[in-house]
Chain A
Amino acid sequence: MKAQIQTYLPVIFLAVLVLLVGAYDPTFFSINNFLQVTADTMTLFLMAAGVTFVIMIGGIDLSIQAVASMASCILAAYLARLGILAIPLAVLGGAIAGLAGAIVSTKLRIPSFIATLAVSGVVLSAGYWFSDTRSINIPPDLSARYLSWAVGETLGIPHELWVGFIVMILLSILLQLTPFGRLIRGIGAQEQAVIASGINVDRIKLAAYTLSGALAALAGVVMAARLGSGSPTLANEFLLPAIASIIVGGTAITGGVGSVWRTFVGALIVQVVRIGMTFMGVSVFAQQIVFGFILVAAVAVTMDRSKLLVVK
């Protein structure tokens, strides 16, 4: 029973936040607003979703921000020439960046923190190269033709939400139902035991980072679609909120414990705290301070520490 409650603490925390903001300003309570807020959260979620896998194996990916920006540049630069193929190309670019970080980390045995940080410098340069150091407009007609899956509405629900839901479902399946997901959890919990069971752990790690890069790139593509252009700085200031989303959702930064829906809820918590402050009219000077303290409080509430011997 207690374990059950522990599992759903992030959801409860989110619900309390929503009720709090709604009680203060009832205009917050509208289906349309909820849909909007959730749709706006999706780019953050997409960025965080892939990293969730990396954090679950006990690593970290600090290159996602640069990767998303680079992907937006690739998309914007090649959409006119390649059409729909620019999308897989952008995602492929992200996947390669993720893979590069993973190779540096696993083959050269460099902590992922530094490996991905260093790779993100390379990716940033690549972004500048693809965009020729400019932000590139995506003409509305091209956007309408190729990117309508990411913007607009179907059945009254914003497309960002559909994308987010589909990604969440696919990733949840990947994490919960496939051998890959099983091994991700195992590596995070006790890597040596997984190695000793004859599993090619490096391959799983490479896959996790590649996935992280690919999803960051997808986030970049969706961002570019929403904003109608690509820019080498498009996803700036996304990195730390994305990682905060994962941890606020209750995924342990040390690995082994976590899930994709947690990241979804975590991203919503981050978003609701921010938007909530605007709704409640918290002074703009106090916002960052309140945000910081709520993040800490959220982790204190949502994190399941029962399985951890020491907290570092």
Chain B
Amino acid sequence: MAKLIPSLEAALVNRRSLLKGIAGIGAAGVVGSAFPRPAIAQEATWTLANSLRSLANPYHATFAKGGEEFAKSIGAKYETLVTEGNSEKGISDIKALLQRTGGKLIVNVDPNDSPDARVIVEEVKKAGGFVVTQWNKPDDLHPWDFDPNYIAHMSFDGVPNAEAIANELFKAFGGEGGIVALGGILSNVPAIERKLGLDNAIAKTNGKVKLLDFQPADWNEQKAFDITQAWVTRFGDQIKGVFAANDGMGMGALEALRQNGLAGTVPVVGIDGIDAAVSAVEAGEFAGTVAWDPFWTGSMGLAIPYAHVTGKIDITKEPKEHREFYGTGIIVTKANAAEFKSNPPKTDFNDLWGKVTGQIQYRS
């Protein structure tokens, strides 16, 4: 991550100049600094874009960063699209970009909700662009049914990773006792998977670890804080550990524990590997987190289609495990946190499949 920081700081400088523009009230200021250049009709080269929920969360910010870096490495134009949590906005934005680029678009999408993926894939195919989807898609939607435009779907397997991190949690408190768990929005696929992973881990302890309560905090830090406060009241020192389906909620839980003097005493685990969580792991307040590699997904979701477009590979000839695959989650614990921080995973834009860990499994 440290390596990322200089480039992030550079980005911050730009943003500050942007803010100056805003402070100048400027519609004029904003317009001036924010509009790159008019695009006249057909563009000769491919435009690359990442579509994600919101730049307000670190995972997606790094995801966008990956796309930007890759585009820079090949000298292509790059855009970030945000859905703001609104499915229709996400879809319309992609359509607009397809229209603007005349279909010469490579887009790497983390759909707002799994149903969106189908529409996006269909639109991209119709316009002749190429698409990679991340995390969310309907189970019956497959890249090979949309050859060649639907390049791939990539995800991280929530079940084994959640199970692994749950085991880290159990280890942290000695493997026996009650835990509480914070889930994401009930109907989100990752939320479901991570809950399943947790359930598996608990089942394997043969009753030694008990799930005292499960509450969805909707990925919301504040909600996680309030729920954890209530848990402290309800279960008191029965709580031996807190499982959070993402780091944001984990941080909320941690702060609630801190308010009650329990930070560091009651271990927390999260998933995502955001900076704050890794630091908490170092400090011994988190028992661990799973680091996805958003820089990798953000860049590889563009690099793979680009390789197809430039003829380096023919995606239709690739095996299924290169069309629907899991990336590698890194379990970060106290043992490797410092190492992880000082030496974050690197991404080689030319190594397309290096971090692929197998074909996606459908469980339901």
Contact residues of A with B, CB < 8 Å?
A: 24-28, 30, 33, 36-37, 40, 43-44, 128, 131, 133-135, 137, 139, 223-224, 226-238, 241, 271, 274-275, 278-290, 293
Contact = CB atoms under 8 A, between A and B. Distances in A.
A25 B87 contact: no
Contacts of B82: 284, 287
Interface string B25-42: 001001101111111110
B118 interface: yes
B34 A282 contact: yes
Contacts of B192: 134
13 contacts: A25-B100, A133-B186, A135-B113, A135-B114, A135-B187, A139-B140, A224-B115, A234-B113, A234-B115, A236-B86, A283-B18, A284-B55, A286-B34
B79 interface: yes
B88 A40 contact: yes
Contacts of B189: 135
Nearest to B111: A227
A290 B27 CA distance: 8
B40 A26 contact: yes
B86 A135 contact: no
B79 to A, nearest CB: 7
B40 A236 contact: no
Given A137-B139, A231-B187, A289-B22, 5 more contacts: A27-B39, A43-B88, A238-B86, A282-B35, A283-B33
B39 A281 contact: yes
A295 to B, nearest CB: 13
Contact of A137 (B99, B138, B188): B138
B87 A285 contact: no
Contacts of B115: 135, 137, 224, 227-231, 234
A-B pairs with lowest CB-CB distance, top 9: A227-B115, A229-B115, A237-B86, A133-B186, A237-B85, A283-B34, A278-B96, A286-B34, A40-B92
A227 B97 contact: no
Nearest to B15: A285
Contact of B97 (A278, A282, A285): A278
Interface in B91-132: 91-93, 95-97, 99-100, 102, 113-116, 118-119
Nearest to B50: A284
B187 A232 contact: yes
A40 B91 contact: yes
A289 B29 CA distance: 12
B35 A238 contact: no
Contacts of B96: 37, 275, 278-279
B81 interface: yes
Contacts of B89: 237, 274
Contacts of B31: 282
Nearest to A290: B30
A100 to B, nearest CB: 22
B222 interface: no
Contacts of B118: 227-229
Contacts of A131: 187
A37 to B, nearest CB: 7
A288 B85 CA distance: 13
B139 to A, nearest CB: 7
Contacts of A236: 85-87, 113
Contact of A237 (B27, B40, B55, B84): B84
Contacts of B81: 278, 284
B38 A25 contact: yes
Nearest to A224: B115
Interface in B234-257: none
A36 B99 contact: yes
Nearest to A133: B186
A134 B38 CA distance: 43
Contact of A286 (B22, B86, B187): B22
- Most central of B81, B99, B140, B189 by chain A CB within 10 Å: B99
Contacts of B100: 25, 27-28, 278-279
